Amino acid sequence: MPNPKSRHSKSRTRQRRAHDALKVPQFYIDKDSGEAMKPHRIDPKTGMYKGRQIIEVKESE
């Protein structure tokens, strides 16, 4: 099994780990409802996407 020949510096280790941070989820505020929504998704409550009706939504009882 290979072993490291020499120790990596703290700077090198931290530069590599700088890319491991969690990304903040992207969202936008819907103009009609004012809710935070994910981009490029159909609104499950209204069935709208980019101002057009895409799917018919069943009314909840």
In this prediction, residues 44-61 reach a mean pLDDT of 85
Radius of gyration, alpha carbons of the chain: 23
pLDDT at residue number 16: 92
Residue 28 φ then ψ, to 5°: -135, 160
pLDDT at residue number 61: 60
Cα separations in angstroms, 8 against 11, 13, 53: 8, 7, 56
Digit-coded pLDDT (tens) for 6-42 = 999 999 999 999 999 998 889 999 887 888 999 999 9
Say whether pLDDT at 60 is over 80. Answer: no
Q: CB neighbours (10 Å) of residue 48? A: 16
| Beta carbons of 28 and 21 less than 8 angstroms apart | no
pLDDT at residue number 12: 94
The two beta strands, 36-37 and 48-49, are: unpaired
